[in-house]
Structure 1
């Protein structure tokens, strides 16, 4: 077990064991090795435990499974528990449907800066590739290869540049993109002290920009978000979002509106409860 790893990769999941198996495999191939994995599990059943057990037995990485009972969408709550469980001073947040390129962890570590957070992105795979992708495809890096993806039916588009292997091109595209650098939970990293300073995620929030809100509090607290969407590469498996609903989005929007209006830096509904 690594007592003080360089970074903790926090992977959120809920009842998608086959996706998680693919995602965990991508972390066994990383060019960096001094990191731990925290599985932030919002109430998955035994199938997910089996996947984690199998991976842990095959891997040299320290894997911590943080689980809570299934009581509806409580991602913010389990992420706060994962932050507390982490053993590193630097945290990388991602999701259990995002397969990481082999340089994902190393790039986050190389680009980290004090009083900054790194805002990454993802390349979305189409439905047929997402269904057919294998462990071997990840090992052979096929799913990050533009030509291979196009040959399998992925549409040609400018977004394929999100898979660039050129650091120079990535740096240029990061500078030119009109997309704002924000806290996007599928690919973002920051120093642990900076997210603890704002008391982590607001646990009142349901699905829909719940990650953006913690980033807005961090910005209000002096943290600068750096754009790295073309540098920290991961591919996102296609899926529907049945848990999305208007009522929850209204609640989240009202909380975010208050955060922006009052320039809030701290939530009373986070890691430390008042």
Structure 2
């Protein structure tokens, strides 16, 4: 399998510096080895205030790898465009997307290095940390602690998290190519893709605003471009901290995604290249 030379980890965030500090701390504590690519971390910031910028500034001086901050003005929920902004700063030949409330086990980068395969994107898994444990971790200030997979496997068995068996590590060639054309349940809380394939589909679609379906749009267009899905289950997992969720509402993106489904389109309505040639568009609502 082709091994990445450098991985760009893109972490999305919005006005949650305490949890972002925990996430960045987990990414600073990654195991390294001959199978592990070099990496950088880029925070895709959808308009956070000064406290988030100050946190990143404090961490940058002593962070073990390059830590970059891709910020755009707060003009509503614009996650797709925020990730494209981060991609403009990324220098890796392989990209891993994470959410800013997901902790990375210490073998996260190493595992993605081993799973990488030409012509495929890797859809990883997540385990949800239960509310009581999440609150205790945030109160204790656990930023910078190493997240050990086997420890969390046992904690999950004792109801501190769900999906305990996702925390097991099975061989990288274990049933990885089931459902290679499935875009459903591909989520950018843990998604890896070659940068060349990101560019092939021109990144995320900036027209997606509000919550949901920007990751489905991205995955479907990758599949149409000939990039198939590889399962990262029982190999690559993130630990999702509990947080309150908004009530159910109709996403403004449903019509956008329905339009994609009924077409054979590969390119976004407005993608990465639009921001690259028109930087002022980052400030547009």
Band the TM-score falls in, shorter-chain normalisation: 0.7 to 0.9
Q: Does the 8 A contact of 1:11 with 1:94 survive in 2?
A: yes
SS of the aligned residue for 1:225 comes to strand
1:74-99 CA distance string (max 9 Å, x none): 11111111111101111000011010
Q: Does the 8 A contact of 1:93 with 1:185 survive in 2?
A: yes
1:130 to 116, 131, 134: 134
Output the CA distance in 1 between the equivalents of 2:263 and 2:20. 38
2:256 corresponds to 1:255: yes
Output the CA distance in 1 between the equivalents of 2:78 and 2:248. 13
2:208 corresponds to 1:205: yes
2:102 corresponds to 1:98: yes
CA RMSD of aligned residues (A): 2.8
Output the CA distance in 2 between the equivalents of 1:262 and 1:176. 25
Q: Does the 8 A contact of 1:80 with 1:201 survive in 2?
A: yes
Output the CA distance in 2 between the equivalents of 1:132 and 1:211. 31
Q: TM-score, normalised by structure 2?
A: 0.83
2:246 corresponds to 1:242: yes
User: Deviation of residue 139 (structure 1)?
Assistant: 2.6
What residue ranges of structure 2 are gaps of 5+ in the alignment?
278-285
Match of 2:267 in 1: 266
2:123 to 119, 125, 129: 119
User: Deviation of residue 57 (structure 1)?
Assistant: 2.1
Q: How many residues align?
A: 263
Output the CA distance in 2 between the equivalents of 1:35 and 1:142. 20
1:147 to 137, 154, 158: 154
User: Deviation of residue 240 (structure 1)?
Assistant: 2.1
Output the CA distance in 2 between the equivalents of 1:197 and 1:175. 22
Change (3 A) 1:6 1:243: farther
Richer in helix (by share)? 1
User: Deviation of residue 148 (structure 1)?
Assistant: 3.1
- Structure 1 residue runs of 4 or more that deviate by more than 4 Å after TM superposition: 170-177
Q: TM-score, normalised by structure 1?
A: 0.86
